Structure 1
């Protein structure tokens, strides 16, 4: 895991356990994708993001990535790329609901097949809410 940026961000009102669940889901999916895809030296890179009254993290992996049509379905309930019986297809849809609906934030995903995936989680700062 490689970290970059951070320090001095404004306060972000949030439900800690919900944010932990979102991050867990993203890391779990990335780790499983890298393992199933045979990534030789799996790595996550985490970068802090501060923009437009939002604070967040960009989580990048060096796994197999996913196609554009797949990206459009990532946050759908019960959609999974895992073998039958190993995934519920709820992790990312629940994560999307937590970030967007519960916290007024943004959750996005980007990728190029064979080039890894990038998930960005942004939450509004206290200043933006006021």
Structure 2
């Protein structure tokens, strides 16, 4: 019984966390008339057709925590001071590569497009 209660409790907490960002939108549509006439910052400018969207935007920013200015206590780590592997410490420079030799060894040839068009032809049209 106790495990079942804990499972339901954590499930409800999860649902609350998922619904939390949507609550200001639900509140906006539920109280649309009040927000548009009383809480809207642009109610004296009807040509903007804000209708309380400024209030909704503020509420969404508050829910999303975009306006917090606290400093993080997590120290910043410079990854260049702590290399993960020693490969970065060694530098390899390849110069004077003979491309003709590589083409012979690996069978890389510069085949022109004429070769492919001579092999890959569309099937002939059937005349009935």
- Scaled by the length of structure 1, the TM-score of the pair is 0.20
More strand by percentage: 1
Structure with max Cα Rg: 2
Higher relative contact order (CA 8 A, sep 6+): 1
